[in-house]
Structure 1
């Protein structure tokens, strides 16, 4: 573990969390007298990010000064996930949210840990369908649906 990296990362995420909270205040308040407005979600994310950053900052003080184990940087895995994220953004509209997210998660999970195909398929499909249903059907939001072949 790198104490310096973790410390800088916690400070960076703390600042990003503060930016989320500050900028979410500029989003217009709720319409039609509802107490839940569009600024609630980014504000809550900012607060969670701030709290997690503070926790990481305090945990870095507990690191022992023992010998450091140098882990190899995994460039190939990073490039596979990075390129698949770019492809995901490109195919989101034509294939729709559910199919493109399922494919992206399938590639990402298998890149990180090969094997376990059943659990990978179950988790990727549950997440894809679950988020789509929750956002598009339950909350009434808009996501690219299924393709019209």
Structure 2
């Protein structure tokens, strides 16, 4: 992910005025930080795996099956989010995405809290970005906040 982000950063257009590379500096720093943190996390996980195998040799897989399911469902939810984003607007698509993710990680028993967080977060971010910061977000049909 970090490599894809960093390579996409290098494809950003150069500034026409001033220093040509300046618009790429901050995103490039973020990409490098993302790559280095990913490598650090991978090394730490490999060390923990070796320690676990030394203590009790067993069939401890590096990635557990439940982890693969969550990763797959998160990828699927992200694709649905991307497809809905322009058609349903920011608020509705973000509520659906957050609801699915919170359901996946918090479980169905916390559905009231999940729904409240998804709705309030989506509306709050929409108001902050569209009204206070002047950043365009796709309009949600029926919501004129």
TM range, normalised to the smaller chain? 0.5 to 0.7
**Structure 2 length-normalised TM:** 0.62
> Which one is further off, 70-79 or 60-69?
70-79
- Cα 1:45/1:129, change in 2 over 3 Å: farther
Aligned-pair CA distance for 1:85: 4.1
Q: Given the alignment of the two structures, is residue 128 of structure 1 paired with residue 103 of structure 2, yes or no? A: no
1:105 aligns with 2:98: yes
Q: Given the alignment of the two structures, is residue 46 of structure 1 paired with residue 37 of structure 2, yes or no?
A: no
- CA separation of 1:23/1:136 partners in 2, compared to 1, >3 Å: closer, same or farther? same
| Pairwise CA RMSD | 3.6
CA distance in 2 between partners of 1:75 and 1:61 (Å): 21
Name the structure 1 match of 2:2. 17
Structure 1 stretches (4+) deviating beyond 6 angstroms? 74-79
> What SS does the aligned partner of 1:142 have?
coil
Structure 1 CA distance, aligned partners of 2:71 and 2:48? 29
SS of alignment partner, residue 91 of structure 1: helix
- Between the aligned partners of 2:71 and 2:38, the Cα distance in structure 1 is 24
**Corresponding residue of 1:7:** none
Q: Bigger CA drift: 104-113 or 135-144?
A: 135-144
1:61 paired residue number: 47
Higher RCO (C-alpha 8 Å, min separation 6) = 1
Aligned pair count reads 132
- The structure in which a higher percent of residues are helix is 2
